Amino acid sequence: MGDPGRSPYPEALQTGLKVRYFLGLGSNLGRKRVNLARARRLLEKNGIHILKESSEYRTQPVGDQDQPWFVNQVLEVETGLDAGELLTAVMRLEGIMKRKPVPRGGPRLIDIDILLAGRCILATPRLQLPHPRLPQRKFVLEPLAEIAPRLCHPVRGQTVRRLLRESMDQSVVERLLPKKRA
């Protein structure tokens, strides 16, 4: 049995050094693009530095088709938080944005998923890394391939570009034009 005072997350994520993560953002309620912009601001305000951001994509819902289409985006971020701390921070930010509990795949004001943490492979009751459905989800693979096409999936050993090319997901994913700044 492990030390009860010790974090269950890998040593590599507890060094106090900055760790790079890839996050998936999605919204299909309200002003979707505004929701993503607010989530990005809240991440930065909470010490989660955005290194790269994909374009925003209009995406067909997976599963329950009887709901509005999503706007999705992937961010590469850097933070001193370990994976568990980042999950707690992300869930807190979703709460600040008034996310309501919904069934998996249901409509949501904001959804922030931790997709990857470097080469970390993690399986705890709270968090699995890489995200277990990442290889099957075109709405995440397309924006991830835009900013990190050569990134290698730590379990499958394939690049994001290859995972996207071999994906069986036939859902519609359309890149949106950048919003005009005032």
CA distance 74 to 84: 19
Strands (E) located in 10-79: 19-27, 49-53, 57-59, 70-79
Distance from the first to the final alpha carbon of the chain = 57
pLDDT at 16: 58
- Return the H-helix or E-strand segment holding 41: helix 32-45
Q: How far is CA 18 from CA 23, 34, 81, 118, 124, in A?
A: 15, 28, 8, 11, 22
Range 11-175 classified under CATH 3.40.640.10: no
pLDDT at 180: 66
The pTM (predicted TM-score) of the whole model is 0.88
Q: What is the pLDDT along the chain (182 residues), one digit of tens a residue?
A: 444 444 444 444 444 578 999 999 999 999 999 999 999 999 999 999 999 999 999 999 987 778 999 999 999 999 999 999 999 999 999 999 988 777 777 789 999 999 999 888 888 899 998 999 999 999 999 999 999 999 999 999 999 999 999 999 999 999 998 876 65
Other Cβ atoms within 10 Å of 113 Cβ, number: 17
Q: Which residues carry out catalysis?
A: 99, 108, 111, 113
Give the residues across from 159 on adjacent strands.
152
